[in-house]
DNA sequence: CTGTTAGCGCATTCAT
DNA sequence: ATGAATGCGCTAACAG
């Protein structure tokens, strides 16, 4: 029972393997009679075609790769769920590749050259132009999710719009001194979000005090440290805007340690709308993560299986979810 | 540049493809001179072997499959992280298969027969004997994670011990009427945990009031509904033990709606120790999810690549994490 | 030590 | 409509 091949089926059905292959691939050129005969044998023998062999012959794997940073958090889980939901419409396998920042090149090469997938979804990977080019050279379809690049298919959220919504809201509430806990300034998100902050201030006729900018890395610990520093500033801000909910959570801890609370001591806004935010009653910028995953694979599938080659870009609008932290 | 094959390398290096294959597979039987020559060409041409072809020839894919329920929650994410961590030691790809309860058979067959993986990790899948047998018939190594079966490799947590710890703790605190919100009674966990509850009561010389048993499905909504029902019972319990943290969260909501709180209105204990539990200050039974994932792939790798065929079973002890919800 | 050849399982011409 | 032959890219056994 260990391995039924197309030859076994052909023999049992008393036809050639070509015919079996045809019914397998729904070719029209088979008489109903033989088709049924073959189908019956296939069922009896519980036969399924070997994926590797089919891949080799077809030059197609029927699988898509999803590259994610080694750091798996709520964000990716949501995106992954979206990917899976989208995957249901197609008959594709999902290969998960973890990409360490330290060994980015090695990991990318592996995905690229192993040729085990027909296309790749790169989630929040901050790929460089050079890295993206490798995909082009090898003609492997690529879609960036939560990342953006000039001439690459991208599904991304309008960072600047999201940030502006948050800052504007705080300003409306009367806040003028607002601290901003950003992610790494060399990351796309870090840059974009800082720019958004500046724009929002400018549009309100105010100026952002760079003293109140803290560079961090989206983690709880980072938010905690940033808040500690802000508490030491001579003229404290009245509001905190964190570039991730995790950072907001960290900030909250530091605020509590100081004997203060939210929103009385500080107004606080996060980013991402992770599940925890609801329980903490944290106002935050919501990113449609599930949707991004879904759109991502839909886009990729289109690229791969309908040979579309025009650039596909989808910008998604984030929403401000207002709760009681400011 | 689109496709460099072993033939291109052989030609450029002026050797036969056999030789190239040998250096690729670190065969000792190649002179240093030719080896270096080939290696140089490989680098120049940026050549990587085609995974499909290699898989076909070797009857080995260098990938492992992870089957997960369609319902992806915190629990699974932690396990997956463990899997990835463990995967790092080996050079394996990870193929993720979602298994719908409704189409279990179809999905399992696909994994089984597609033959795109060398072995499978089945996480929290409540596989039947029959399903497990399919793997045996096809000689595809299988490791159950968070699931148990007589003669299958399994990494599992001692459910009964975990439940006993929770119930005993409540009894110590003086509670006698304890409601239990279980998962589906036809699931392994559902059965085990209920049994644990009964044992714990028996050992304390008490009897479990079946009226206080609520069957649910591990979700927040389920916990909410169960709590609603319990609030209608004539003689209310003083404590609630939920079979998942999510259920505990749902119960908490219902308790709050009733104008009561925890631990004053009810003592509350959850199960899983998800991240949220910490923030809710919820006492809960901790399952080492990350560890389970790590152990799972370690076990699987051993089965596949060192041809061990003795049954491997690992029982992990859960811990009671005491916080302030009771 | 190295080149050549025969599969691995399937899709796809090319004949018929 | 169908069977036989060829190739997908690679490994391994076989000669030399």
The sign one gets for the Cα dihedral A165, A170, A176, A178 is negative
pLDDT recorded at residue A76: 80
**pLDDT of the residue at B143:** 96
- Residue A322 maps to a domain: no
* pLDDT number for residue A254: 96
The Cα–Cα gap between A221 and A251 comes to 9
Structural domain including B72 reads 62-157+289-316
Residues constituting chain A:
326
User: What is the average pLDDT score of chain B?
Assistant: 91
Look at residue B66 in the predicted model and tell me its pLDDT. 94
Residue A83 sits in the same domain as residue A199: no
The enclosing domain of A117 has a CATH number of 3.40.50.2300
What's the confidence (pLDDT) of residue A200? 96
B49 touches strand D (CB under 7 A): yes
**Residue A162: per-residue pLDDT:** 97
CA-based nearest residue to B78, from B289, B296, B275: B289
A58 Cβ contact list (under 8 Å, min separation 6): none
Same domain, A234 and A252: yes
The total of structural domains in chain B comes to 3
Gap from A32 CA to chain B (nearest CA, Å): 25
CA dist A289 and A316 (Å) reads 10
* Cα–Cα distance measured from residue A24 to residue A49, given in angstroms and rounded to the nearest whole number: 8
Residue B203, pLDDT > 90, answer yes
Q: Are residues A106 and A96 in the same domain?
A: yes
β-strands B142-145, B119-123 pairing: parallel
Tell me, yes or no, whether B51 and B138 share the same domain: no
Query: Domain for residue A321, yes or no?
Result: no
Burial tier of B199 (Cβ tally within 10 Å: 0-12, 13-18, 19+): middle
Residue A127: both structure tokens together = 């790929």
What are the C-alpha distances in Å from A72 to residues A80, A191, A199, A292, A317?
A: 10, 22, 31, 16, 24
Are B298 and B278 in the same domain?
no
Say yes or no for a CB contact (<8 Å) between B94 and A97.
yes
Q: What is the pLDDT of residues B227-246, one digit of tens each?
A: 999 999 999 999 999 999 99
Looking at residue B305, its pLDDT comes to: 81
Q: How far is A198 from chain B (nearest CA, A)?
A: 33
The 10s digit of each residue's pLDDT in B105-131 is 888 888 887 788 999 999 989 899 999
- Angstrom CA distances, B167 to A132, B159, B222, B223, B270, stand at 55, 12, 21, 18, 11
Rounded distance between C-alpha atoms, residue A279 and residue A152, angstroms:
38
β-pairing, B283-286 with B213-215? unpaired
Task: Output the distance from A27 CA to D5 C1' rounded to whole Å.
Answer: 20
Share of chain B above pLDDT 90, in %: 60
pLDDT in tens, B16-27: 899 999 998 887
Question: Could you report the per-residue pLDDT of B49-81, keeping only the tens digit for each?
Answer: 998 999 999 988 889 999 988 766 777 878 888
pLDDT value at position B310?
A: 83
Q: Do A51 and B114 touch (CB under 8 A)?
A: yes
Looking at per-residue pLDDT, the higher value among A107 and B307 belongs to A107
Share of chain A above pLDDT 70, in %: 98
What does the pLDDT average to over A276-301? 92
Mean pLDDT of all residues belonging to chain A: 90
- The reply to whether B191 falls in a domain is yes
User: Which residue is closest to B249 within chain A, CA to CA?
Assistant: A279
- In this complex, do A96 and B98 lie within 8 Å of one another by their Cβ atoms? no
DSSP A212: G
Instruction: Give the confidence band of A71 by pLDDT, cuts at 50, 70, 90.
Output: low
Instruction: Answer whether any strand D atom is within 7 A of the Cβ of B56.
Output: yes
A126 and A177 within one domain: no
Residue A4 has pLDDT above 60, yes or no: yes
In a domain, B83, yes or no: yes
Q: What is the pLDDT of residue B48?
A: 87
Residue A2 pLDDT more than 70?
Answer: no
Cβ atoms of A98 and A68 closer than 8 Å: yes
**A2 vs B contacts (CB less than 8 Å):** 137-139
User: Nearest nucleotide to A60 by CA–C1' distance?
Assistant: D8
Q: Dihedral sign for Cα A123, A125, A129, A132, please.
A: negative
Q: Domain check: are A13 and A95 in the same one?
A: no
B72 touches strand D (CB under 7 A): no
Q: Is residue A274 part of a domain?
A: yes
Residue A325 lies in a domain: no
For the segment A63-86, the average pLDDT, to the nearest whole number, is 83
pLDDT greater than 70 at residue A237 = yes
Do residue A209 and residue A175 come from a single domain?
yes
Higher pLDDT, B159 or A307: B159
ω before A271 within 30° of 0 (cis)? no
CA distance A249 to A243: 11
Q: CB of A292 within 8 A of CB of A153?
A: no
pLDDT at A172: 96
* pLDDT range class, residue A72, cuts 50, 70, 90: low
pLDDT of residue B2: 58
pLDDT at position B72: 66
Answer yes or no: is pLDDT of A235 > 60.
yes
Give pLDDT, residue B181: 98
- Same domain as B88, residue B24: no
Determine the pLDDT at residue A116: 87
Lowest mean pLDDT among A244-253, B54-63, B190-199: B54-63
Q: How far apart are CA B139 and CA B158, in angstroms?
A: 28
């Amino acid at each position: 029972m260990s391995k039924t091949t197309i030859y076994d089926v052909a023999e049992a059905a008393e036809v050639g393997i070509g015919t079996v292959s045809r019914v397998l691939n729904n070719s029209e050129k088979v008489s109903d009679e033989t088709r049924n005969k073959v189908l019956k044998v296939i069922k009896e023998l519980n036969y399924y075609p070997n994926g590797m062999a089919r891949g080799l012959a077809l030059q197609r794997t029927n699988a898509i790769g999803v590259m994610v940073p080694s750091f798996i958090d709520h964000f990716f889980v949501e995106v992954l769920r979206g990917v899976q939901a989208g995957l249901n419409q197609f008959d594709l396998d999902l290969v998960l590749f973890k990409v360490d920042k330290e060994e980015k090149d090695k990991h990318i090469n592996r995905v690229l050259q192993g040729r085990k997938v027909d296309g790749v979804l790169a989630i929040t990977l901050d790929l460089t132009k050079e890295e993206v080019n490798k995909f082009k050279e090898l003609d492997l379809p690529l879609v960036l999710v939560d990342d953006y690049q000039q001439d690459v298919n991208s599904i991304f959220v309008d960072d600047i719009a999201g940030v502006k919504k948050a800052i504007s809201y705080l300003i409306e509430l009367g806040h003028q001194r607002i601290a901003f806990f950003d992610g790494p300034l060399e990351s796309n998100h870090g840059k974009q979000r800082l720019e958004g902050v500046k724009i929002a201030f400018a549009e309100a006729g105010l100026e952002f005090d760079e003293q109140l900018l803290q560079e961090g890395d989206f983690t709880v610990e980072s938010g905690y440290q940033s808040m500690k520093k802000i508490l030491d500033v001579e003229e404290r801000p009245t509001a905190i805007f964190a570039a991730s909910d995790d950072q907001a959570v960290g900030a909250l801890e530091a605020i509590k340690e100081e004997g203060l609370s939210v929103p009385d001591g500080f107004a606080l806004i996060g980013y991402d709308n992770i599940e925890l935010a609801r329980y903490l009653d944290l106002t935050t910028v919501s990113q449609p993560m599930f949707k991004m995953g879904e759109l991502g694979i839909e886009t990729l599938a289109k690229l791969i299986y309908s040979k579309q080659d025009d650039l596909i870009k989808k910008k998604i609008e984030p929403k401000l979810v207002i709760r009681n932290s400011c």
